[in-house]
Amino acid sequence: MTVVSVEGEIDLATVPGLRARLAAAAREEGCECLVVDLAGVGFLDASGVGALVAARRAMNARGGRLVLARPRPVVSRVLGILGLDRVFEIVPAPAAR
């Protein structure tokens, strides 16, 4: 399992860095489960949602999975409004390594 902790706002200005971090983590040898820890995220826009969806697709394509951990209520609300709370695996905390 590989954990990527994200903090701050995920928006058009910051999403390129997030995409790069998620892609690099997914490429790590033996990465079968990529956990994105969202506890530090206070804002998530459509570009951020797109980055998470793309990372999930990439992990699924290689037989792995992407898990979202500890989203704040504001992030959970965005995911719920879009119906992505039924698409993503969402957990209250990353599992111990």
pLDDT digits (tens, 9 = 90+) for 22-80: 999 988 888 899 999 999 999 999 999 999 999 999 999 989 999 999 999 999 999 99
Range with the poorest average pLDDT among 9-18, 70-79, 88-97: 88-97
- pTM here is 0.92
Residue 41: its H or E element: strand 33-44
- The rounded distance, in Å, linking the Cα atoms of 52 and 47 is 9
- The rounded distance, in Å, linking the Cα atoms of 21 and 34 is 11
